Homo-oligomer: A and B are copies of this chain.
Amino acid sequence: MSGEKARIGFVTVSDRASRGEYEDLGGPAMRAWFARVLTSPWEAVSRLVPDERGAIEQVLRELADEAGCCLVVTTGGTGPAPRDVTPEATEAVCEKMLPGFGELMRQESLKFVPTAILSRQTAGVRGACLIINLPGKPSAIDDCLNAVFPAVPYCIDLIGGPYLETDPDQCRAFRPKHATNGDEKRAHGVMP
């Protein structure tokens, strides 16, 4: 699928940004990271939703099932406050959860702030789409993407998505030796 444009969903979850009371900083920060790092062709599909579980679930399903995104990243709504429901919405739409993403993002954020343990960020797979929750704060978005993204292209290979390539000076994507290109990978099957 090397010639095809990968579609990547960017979801900002914020009551205030969705009411226009607050500029959405998380969405642009996520897109800027991908613009700097990805070298294979891709296009952004952006959404802005309030902190409502139903609305978040709906937009995640739409991006995975209708827009054909191989990857959706969210920003916001992962804390302990009553309106923070992004992880619950993510878990509700995913068939399988990947707890290692949340573990590593919290561990990475713990290097900067002890309140990193309050983040409930998670990741999971819906069909051929990987969904990852990122923090709300732009600088923390970069820290988390730098930490987990090396595993993302291979994950997308495994769920049947397009072959993503990165600028190794920005972020070194890792694939096991038996999976150096999409066809070879499929011939060898699943193997993390």
Contacts and interface: CB of A to CB of B under 8 A. Distances in A.
A134 B106 CA distance: 20
For chain A, the bracket of interface size reads: 35 or more
Contacts of A80: 96, 98, 125, 130, 155, 158-159, 192
A103 B104 contact: no
A7 interface: no
A191 B80 CA distance: 9
A79 B192 contact: yes
Nearest to A116: B100
A190 interface: yes
The 10 closest A-B pairs by CB, nearest first: A100-B117, A81-B190, A114-B150, A79-B192, A118-B192, A115-B151, A81-B158, A114-B174, A100-B106, A79-B190
